[in-house]
A and B are shown apart, each in its own frame.
Chain A
Amino acid sequence: MYVFLFMVISFNDYYSQDTISLKTIDVITLKENISQIGKKIEPIDSIIKQQFKFNSVADLLNLNSSIFIKNYGPGGLSSSAFRGGNASQTAILWNGLNIQNAMLGQCDLTLIPNLLFENIQIEYGGSSSLWGSGAVGGSIHLNNNLEFNKGLHINTNIGSGSFGLFNFASDVLLSKKRFATSIKFYRTSSENNFPFNDPIDKTSVLKVQKNADYNFNGLMQEFKILINPKQIFTINTWLNYNQRNLPSYYESNQKKRQQLDISSRIIANWVYFKSKISCSIKAAIFNDFINYNDSSSEIFSKSKSQTIFIENENFYNWKRHHNFYFGINMSNNQALIKNYESKKYLNKASFLIGNKFSFLNGKLISNVSARVEYFSVGTLPVTGGAAFEYRLFKPITIIFNAAKVYRQPTLNELYWMPGGNNNLKAEQGYTFEGGANYKKQLKDFLFQFNGAIYSREIENWILWIPSQNGSSSAINIQKVWSRGSETTLKLNYQKNKIKLGSSIMTSYVLSTIQSSQQENNNTLNKQLIYTPRYLLNANLSVGLHNIYFIFYHQYFGYRYTTSDNSQWLNPYQVSSCRFNYTFDVKKINLSLYGSCNNLFNQNYYVLAGRPMPLRSYEFGITIKSI
């Protein structure tokens, strides 16, 4: 869990002061800062975030990171494939707590709208010692950052688009000297009846996607109280109600399948801070309810799961720039579905200890951490990590980190009947990363480059494989080695009211199966399914006074659809663009926005059997009180 700290501009400045200027405070997380040492980090900048305000986190990451997003189509499930890992090996952290569903071990990024969060960051690489189980391939940080003393602000957005898309979102912020609250509401719905070309029936005219409509609703509220200059109390509440029909592309007889996802998440956080000490106590309760109905197949599945967290973390600045920290985390997961024998529980308690060091006048920063954990089913490894960051000379920083990472089995993997296996071991392994960051400002030009290479071996990788009666069993079956590189190159120009920018992000992933317990297995040294070796994301932006335009182009390489690499999907390239025009009318700020997706009308599939729309449009208006 992370600690909210009020800081004056930077972390170091915070520790140099005994009192805090409330007018200039900025809330960041100390633990996030520590976890980012020696890592490749991709913050989503405010302009980009604004452009994707009414899209999902899946859309945002798909276009602005080197993560491969497995997308089942608009409104469909989206999950992340981080550095050759799977969705369960990514930590999705809301204000520092993992919101992955305890039964499934993943959460649907389509159901998370960007507008709920003030700050979104991508942390590449494993950090199990800091973030716990699941932070194997990387972490996605979704943070709220309510500020004091900002007055009253109201934003409303109405948007529309192709295939019956309708967006409505509104948020109200009331921010006083010692108290701040915000409420955000959103609704997104779509008929989602887009046309597509059928790769099987090539002679046919365009087909229309059926039974794919969706309706997503949510509400987030935050209260923050400054009890006194040393204490803050925050409560975040997030409610979701999402309905969607699930299409089936190849079925001749379209069946009605529906899924309802309801979730409620509440975090209460108390933070105490002084010049050298800060601590936090956090309690949270996350509930997920998933109702899947397929009447034609007589499948009526209802599942309820709950996760309760209690966490304490403490930071002590024992010497200038040296920070010692420790904490405990206790969680209880419980879930009920008819496929379990009865209500099932997982209890976990962990102890975290670590230290951040700074040497050579801040040129060398390092962090060392360790975590021991008790797990009610089986044992979990002792994990730890070490990270270093060295500023070679002014524009160049070299990074390195090594860590032991793990993922504990999910409730379904342990208890699903048939096939669950309560003798499963945690997936675990080691990860290493090295890289360099370069940043240079030349007059009006800013040039940035960062590159990283990594290697990660995971043992006891869990797979569901066939067992009796055509059902499946979860087994620790294979060892996977993921290695690769990532680069980000950015060039920006800014003068007066002109802003020009470009960025190119690349990813090369080789994620292969090193060993398997199955006889006559043909997967050794083969690439994992749906893990493209090559990925490229490029964009070009132009900002002129109050008009902003950005063009995206993406390339995704071959995605194998079988583990023996005997079948694959061809690479695809897709382009899109977005614009934004902002102007003021008296005390109201208006923003017109629009986007065109799949600009060149490409026929493409991210996943087999899941058609993506041809060219589509989206537009809307945002009204903001100044």
Chain B
Amino acid sequence: MGFDVYDDESKALLHFDPRTKFMLFVTSLIVSVNCFDLMPLLIYSVFLCAIYFLCGKRMQAVKLFAAFAFLTYLKFAMERAGTGAPVVVMIFSTLITVFLFFFPVLISLMLITKTTRINQFLAAFQAMHLPNALIIPLAVMFRFIPTVQEEWQGIRKAMAFRGISMEPAAILRAPMKTVEYILIPLLFSTISVMEELAAAALARGMDSEKKRTSCETVKLRVHDDLVMLVFLGIAGYFVYRKITGGAA
């Protein structure tokens, strides 16, 4: 997933509230489904890249934007030339179009995952008054994903000694056995960690019925409100157009 636990916040010029980033994500989803013209999409993506840049990931923002610009250019050149076997043209243009339309969603997803700390995330969820019954499993999930990866590494090492091979050929030969060998140690070790974790969390007072505070503070600031308004406007526009069935 690529969550950074402690990213380098020194380069960030602006800090956006996670809720703003969610809003961006939802808007991107709506836009990517409903917008078919290239120009508005371009402008929207530039906007997103700029926000990503401001949030601190400069090199990545530049690289992503370069990729986007390159593909647009390629598409443009392809259309202008009008040459090429239909099959090839179709495959290429479909791939490019899919990527282009997917781009805003990708950027807003990266904005969420790579510039937010997990604690900020959870604090934002709490501020949004989501029920504890949702926040606790989410927090546990984030914390458990690296654990699962660690366990998996350990199990692969154990498999190497026992002569259980993980190569595709071996998997195809005995798929059921392979599934069993993967799942059983993984599940047993995960269950034991899970139970200890639950005991430790409960013994330290975690209770889903009580309200938790957080040492991270999430506050909506001026730029948050500004951005949210703008994007709300964009999303509203698209939804309106879809509802009224307007033409391009």
A and B interact: no
Q: Point out residues on A near B: beta carbons under 8 Å.
A: none
